[in-house]
Amino acid sequence: MRIGEVARRTGLSLRAIRRYAQDGLVRASARGQGDVHLYTGQDLVRLHLVRRMEHLGFDLARMRDVLAVLPPGVPVVGEDDGTWLAELVAAAEGRCGELRAAVAAAEEFAAALRKLADHMRILSASRTTSTTR
């Protein structure tokens, strides 16, 4: 199928598909007349994986690592023997752990900022009270 059909089926823009190709995350399985890129159902599966990883905040290197464990001709759902999928699950769980740690750090930082803001309000109020006396 042509890139326009791939975009329609995946919900990705032509630009995103081309960017993924330029970044080496996906490539057309074949070329048609006039050097038209042609994609297969397996290419669609790979694009869906890339899209999900991008939404989860995987960086380019991590996406490449995950895609590297996929066997040639990524199995379409239902054809998996479980081995590559287990590695993909492990990579996704690793990313979830990283995201949890980042959220915990952000929450800790927000709590520190709230404490600082409260302290600043108290100082400001005490200065206002001292100058009005």
The predicted pLDDT at position 92 comes to 80
Residue pair 10/44 in contact by the 8 Å Cβ criterion = yes
The predicted pLDDT at position 100 comes to 94
The predicted pLDDT at position 78 comes to 47
Per domain, the residue ranges of the chain are 3-99
> pTM (2 decimals)?
0.56
* Residue 82 to residue 98: CA distance in whole angstroms: 24
How would you write the pLDDT of the chain (133 residues) with one tens digit per residue? 888 999 998 889 999 999 998 998 887 777 777 767 788 888 888 888 888 888 888 889 888 888 887 766 655 444 455 666 777 778 788 888 888 999 999 999 999 999 999 999 999 888 877 666 6
Please give the helix or strand (H or E) that residue 38 lies within, else none. strand 37-38
Closest to 49 in 3D by CA, of 30, 26, 71: 26
* CATH for the stretch 3-99: 1.10.1660.10
Identify the DSSP state of 37.
E
CB-CB neighbours of 107 under 10 Å: 10
Task: Please report, in angstroms and rounded to a whole number, the separation of the first and last CA atoms in the chain.
Answer: 80
Residue pair 88/50 in contact by the 8 Å Cβ criterion = no
Beta-bridge partners for 2: 38
Residue corresponding to tokens 């074949």 = 30
